[in-house]
């Protein structure tokens, strides 16, 4: 083997090694790592409950890529969105990341005097904590006009449900968030999410909690009450701790809340 051939061979090996190293650096530094990074690939079709907005499909792709997956739009119109998702984990995790995630904090009030409650559900004592009972009795009631106010349902730890009467407009919305951070709860060992508010939201929440100590407030996500704690004292500092239901993934939730844009409600249609 001549010297020229040996030099060419060495240069070729160096070039290949450099390319492999550059790709590895690109994967580590440029391509985001996140809770949706994995090895699965599939297409899923989502059908709009009402209609998708023009930017919904692009917002879906942005969310998934921010969480570590690769995603592209196969097709999109007002009725359906078809996405190709690669280098991801499971269809269930992807669907969780793509839900609308409309978040709001509402003051709670007692039900109107004209409210008709389901059979077997007694009118609550004067309280702002809502009314509780079997979920199968409260779900259809909440969906009807009988409550006489904006109602959302909460699933309690014992498997029953609580219906809460919400005050509109909400005290806070997702528009007031500037960041979301995963935190470890030292009491339960579970991961929860800390919501960081903008200046306007922080001021409004501090003023609201100062004026309503002893009353209840509801954190509502996609029309479901996630928590309805009693306000113990004024809450300054512009932070709100979100205690997650048991099946929630804190990393996915925080990642979605950090990305801009809501998505219209949808139902899952096809996976392949």
Q: Summarize pLDDT for 117-153 with one digit per residue, the tens.
A: 998 887 777 555 689 999 999 999 999 988 999 999 9
Confidence grade of residue 10 (pLDDT, cut at 50, 70, 90): low
**Residue ending a domain, choose from 148, 166, 184:** 166
The verdict on residue 33 lying in a domain is no
Residues 133 and 161 in one domain: yes
Picking from 128, 144, 166, the residue at the C-terminal end of a domain is: 166
CA distance 71 to 42: 10
24 in a domain, yes or no? no
Q: What is the pLDDT of residue 130?
A: 85
149 vs 56: CA distance, rounded Å:
30
- Dist CA 249 CA 251 (whole Å): 6
- Are 154 and 176 contacting, i.e. CB atoms less than 8 angstroms apart? no
Same domain? 94 vs 112: no
Please give the pLDDT value at position 162: 92
Other C-beta atoms lying within 10 Å of the C-beta of residue 171: 19
- 131 and 202 belong to one structural domain: no
Tell me which residue range forms the domain holding 86: 40-98
pTM (predicted TM-score): 0.81
Q: Count structural domains, the chain.
A: 3
Residues 218, 248 within the same domain: yes
pLDDT band at 185 (very low <50, low <70, confident <90, very high): confident
**What is the SS3 assignment for 47?**
strand
Q: What is the pLDDT of residues 26-80, one digit of tens each?
A: 344 444 578 999 999 999 999 999 999 999 999 999 999 999 999 999 999 999 9
Q: Per the domain annotation, does 3 fall within a domain? A: no
């Amino acid at each position: 083997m001549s010297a020229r051939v040996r030099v060419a061979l060495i240069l070729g090996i160096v070039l290949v090694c450099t390319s492999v190293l550059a790709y590895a650096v690109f994967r580590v530094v440029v391509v985001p790592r996140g809770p949706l990074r994995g090895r699965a690939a599939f297409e899923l079709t989502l059908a709009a409950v009402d209609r998708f907005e023009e930017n919904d499909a692009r917002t879906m792709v942005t969310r998934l890529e921010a969480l570590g997956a690769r995603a592209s739009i196969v097709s999109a119109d007002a009725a359906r969105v078809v996405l190709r998702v690669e280098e991801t984990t499971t269809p269930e995790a992807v669907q969780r990341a793509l839900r609308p995630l409309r978040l709001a904090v509402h003051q709670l009030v007692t039900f109107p005097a004209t409210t008709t409650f389901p059979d077997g559900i007694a009118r609550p004592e004067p309280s702002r904590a809502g009314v509780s009972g079997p979920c199968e009795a409260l779900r259809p009631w909440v969906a009807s006009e009988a409550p006489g106010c904006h109602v959302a349902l909460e699933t309690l730890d014992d498997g029953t449900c609580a219906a809460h009467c919400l005050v509109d407009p909400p005290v806070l919305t997702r528009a007031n968030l500037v960041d979301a951070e995963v935190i470890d709860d030292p009491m339960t060992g579970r991961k929860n999410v800390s919501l960081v508010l903008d200046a306007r939201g922080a001021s409004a929440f501090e003023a609201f909690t100062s004026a309503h100590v002893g009353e209840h407030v509801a954190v509502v996500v996609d029309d479901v009450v996630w928590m309805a704690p009693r306000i113990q004292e004024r809450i300054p500092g512009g932070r709100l701790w979100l205690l997650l239901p048991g099946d929630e993934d804190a990393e996915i939730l925080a990642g979605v809340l950090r990305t801009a844009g809501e998505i219209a409600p949808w139902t899952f249609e096809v996976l392949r």
